[in-house]
Amino acid sequence: MAGLKGLKKTRRIQIILVAFVALGLSTALIGYAMKDGINFFRSPTQVTTMPPRPGEQFRLGGLVEVGSLVRDQGDVITFKVTDTKTTVPVRYQGVLPDLFAEGAGVIAMGHMEGDKFIADRDGILAKHDEKYMPKEVIDALKAQGVYVAPKSGS
């Protein structure tokens, strides 16, 4: 009878160990599979100080520099994204969101080609209203000490 209890205890410990190994392995596989699918936000200053790898997809966020929006022939648009410290030129081909405007917060998805950011088609996210700015943009501006909160009240 004592041998049976010892066998059950040993079997239970083996099952728990196998479950932990399986959990660890599945977590590692999920992390490996998602490593290319995670897109990090970067400010223009971060892009210039720590350049991304060639062809790396990432999100560039900041403010659309006033006076930088140029609509070329066709549906090619160029503008500059700034964090008030550094500016990165952006090229986008497509239709901009209705709320896209100079001086407003923007996040663009794409990659760098030389010193220019190439935004993917449908890769531009613009503000929701006149007071909205993406959280990542606010955090980046606060980290640099240049964030000015919008005035409350309309």
Domain range for 27 is 1-38
pLDDT value at position 15? 95
Averaged pLDDT, 70-89: 88
The backbone torsions φ and ψ at residue 117, rounded to the nearest 5 degrees and listed phi first, read -90, 125
**Per-residue pLDDT at 29 exceeds 80:** yes
Cα–Cα dist 30/36, whole Å: 11
Regarding whether 58 and 22 lie in a shared domain, the answer is no
Cα–Cα dist 125/109, whole Å: 8
If one compares 122 and 8, the residue with the highest pLDDT of the two is 8
Regarding whether 89 and 45 lie in a shared domain, the answer is yes
Count of C-beta atoms within a 10 Å radius of residue 81? 26
List the one residue out of 149, 131, 150, 141 whose CA is nearest residue 41.
Answer: 141
**Per-residue pLDDT at 127 exceeds 70:** no
Cα–Cα dist 103/126, whole Å: 11
List the one residue out of 143, 140, 144, 101 whose CA is nearest residue 124.
Answer: 101
Regarding whether 120 and 109 lie in a shared domain, the answer is yes
* CATH number of the domain bearing residue 106: 2.40.50.140
Domain count, the chain: 2
Regarding whether 113 and 81 lie in a shared domain, the answer is yes
128 close to 103: Cβ distance less than 8 angstroms: no
Regarding whether 55 and 16 lie in a shared domain, the answer is no
Cβ-based neighbours of 112, under 8 Å, separated by 6 or more: 47, 51, 52, 54, 56, 118
Extract the tokens encoding 83.
């964090």
pTM of the complete model beyond 0.75 = no
% of the chain beyond a pLDDT of 90: 22
List the one residue out of 47, 64, 61 whose CA is nearest residue 137.
Answer: 61
